[in-house]
Amino acid sequence: MDLSSLLFFRHCADFDELTIKKNAIVEFDAYLEMHQKTATELLYEPVLIDENAVVGQRSILLRGSVLSVGSSVSPNSTVLPGEEVPVGSIIAMNPGVVIPRPDDHNAKDFVKASATGGHHTMAGNKAALKHQEEATAQGVPAGGGGRRASVAGKGAGRASVQGKAAAGGRCSIRDLSGKLVAAESLTIDTNVKQVDMVIIGAGTCGLIAAEEIKKKGKSYMILEKSADVGGCWLHAANKTSHVAVSEPSYRFNYDHKGKYPSDFTGRDELLKDAKRYIAAHDLAVTHQAQVTKVEKDPDGWIVTYVLTASKMCTVKCKGVFMALGAQQTPRLIKLSGEESFTGTISTGIQDHMPVDKFKEAKVVIVGGVAFACENLRTALLHGARHVTVI
């Protein structure tokens, strides 16, 4: 590390041969990881940050990556394993895409280059291919398999969301009590609203999308089917649920005035923080608005939704951001002999499982994704004798 370089980061992973050269800057909450574990080995490769290179806030540099002279990493971007960012280039997005820096270094050109670069550069394609090959070799799905949201694009407009749409806008939906509401009982709002963007879902992703859109001076409308915000943290999480990463990686962006959430933030704290975020950015949410149809229109998109299970409304927009989140409805199964089981049967979400029942119990968890792992941990923390995951 050179005497004239500046480091503000607080996250690192097993330093080994890290080199930071003259006038380089590593900003707050950057994460530098020198190692990778596979099923059979632990790999170490040095990370090199060359002269006058800049690592932006909350960006990630993975093993073997090299920031060449004068290159920079945009905030919240990831440099993939072994990626070499060319001299004077920008890397943006997540996973990172390398974009040749324009001659003019002002912010306008930087934003334009980051937005238009995409995966249309040779370096970007090379990085994406390398990431995919490494993931395939380790048996891990690469690409967007874990995404929580998508932008409605070409050909996506024929799907109905959280409801069943029929010709002519007729539909059947479920009200907040779960009862089916027939189209005949709905009143039609003939006042068609118009906004730049419709955001479906007021979870973490939907709220952040709204703030980004508002920041760019565009009009928006958030449609949330429930009476509150928080998405899966509200509808599925347990009191014992918490964010699986350290706090700065999952922090709402507003002035916390030094009172930051706790590390590995818990459900209740996170839901309160979401409301502070809404207040800080003066975001508007339309609650109890269940979307029944999203369809393409010559001028953009038409979104149909039912408000408070009684009024059918329509909004025209230029784009739709579907922040639909994780699965929130448990898939219930009936096992043979279940009626004679004398223990406790639970879905493992929505505080359905009393944690005191774990003490000295032998626990079986059916399923192996996020809430299965969470309940595995919770059971052991609360005194389970043994946990089997099927």
In the chain, what percentage of residues exceed pLDDT 70?
Answer: 77
Reported as a pLDDT band with limits 50, 70 and 90, residue 80 is confident
More reliable by pLDDT, 146 or 266 = 266
Is there a contact between 55 and 43 (Cβ–Cβ < 8 Å)? no
Residue 175 has pLDDT above 70, yes or no: no
Query: For residue 8, what are the contacts with CB-CB under 8 A and spacing of at least 6?
Result: 25, 26, 27, 28, 30
More reliable by pLDDT, 330 or 269 = 269
Reported as a pLDDT band with limits 50, 70 and 90, residue 277 is very high
Q: How far is CA 251 from CA 28, 117, 125, in A?
A: 13, 27, 30
pLDDT confidence of residue 183: 57
- Whose CA is closest to 273, among 321, 221, 208, 222? 208
The listed CATH number (3.40.50.2300, 3.50.50.60, 3.30.420.140, 1.10.357.10) that belongs to domain 150-322: 3.50.50.60
Reported as a pLDDT band with limits 50, 70 and 90, residue 93 is confident
DSSP structure class, residue 4 = T
Q: Report the distance separating Cα 316 and Cα 59, nearest Å.
A: 36
More reliable by pLDDT, 276 or 6 = 276
Domain ranges of the chain: 6-137, 150-322, 338-389
Is there a contact between 238 and 341 (Cβ–Cβ < 8 Å)? no
pLDDT confidence of residue 112: 52
pLDDT confidence of residue 29: 83
Q: How far is CA 255 from CA 202, 250, 259, 279, in A?
A: 21, 15, 9, 11
The DSSP line for 165-192 is E-GGG-EEEE-TTS-EE-GGG-EE----
Q: Assign 3-class secondary structure to the chain.
A: CCCCCEECCCEEECCCCCEECCCCEECCCCEEECEEECCCCEEECCCEECCCCEECCCCEECCCCEECCCCEECCCCEECCCCEECCCEEEECCCCEEEECCCCCCHHHHHHHHHHHCCCCHHHHHHHHHHHHHHHHCCCCCCCCCCCCEECCCCCCCCCCCCEECHHHCEEEECCCCCEECHHHCEECCCCEEEEEEEECCCHHHHHHHHHHHHCCCCEEEECCCCCCCCHHHHCCCCCCECCCCHHHHCCCCCCCCCCCCCCCEHHHHHHHHHHHHHHHCCCEECCEEEEEEEEECCEEEEEEEECCCEEEEEEEEEEEECCCCCCCCCCCCCCCHHHCCCCCCCCCCCCCCHHHHCCCEEEECCCCHHHHHHHHHHHHCCCCEEEEC
Q: Report the distance separating Cα 226 and Cα 288, nearest Å.
A: 5
Instruction: Name the burial class of residue 368, with classes exposed (0-12), middle (13-18) and buried (19+) by CB atoms within 10 angstroms of its CB.
Output: exposed
Query: Which CATH homologous superfamily contains domain 6-137?
Result: Hexapeptide repeat proteins (2.160.10.10)
Reported as a pLDDT band with limits 50, 70 and 90, residue 182 is low
pLDDT confidence of residue 74: 87
Residue 57 has pLDDT above 50, yes or no: yes
- Whose CA is closest to 277, among 222, 327, 237? 222
pLDDT confidence of residue 221: 98
Of the listed ranges 100-104, 209-213, 333-337, the least confidently predicted one is 100-104
pLDDT confidence of residue 181: 55
Q: Report the distance separating Cα 243 and Cα 11, nearest Å.
A: 17
What's the mean pLDDT in 197-215? 96
Tokens representing 332?
A: 């219930």
pLDDT digits (tens, 9 = 90+) for 315-332: 999 999 999 876 667 778
Residue 387 has pLDDT above 90, yes or no: yes
pLDDT confidence of residue 244: 79
Residue 91 has pLDDT above 80, yes or no: yes
Q: Report the distance separating Cα 204 and Cα 270, nearest Å.
A: 9
Beta bridge partners, 37, equal: 42
What's the mean pLDDT in 247-262? 88
Beta bridge partners, 194, equal: 316
pLDDT confidence of residue 12: 75
pLDDT digits (tens, 9 = 90+) for 129-158: 444 455 455 454 433 332 222 233 333 333
Residue 289 has pLDDT above 80, yes or no: yes
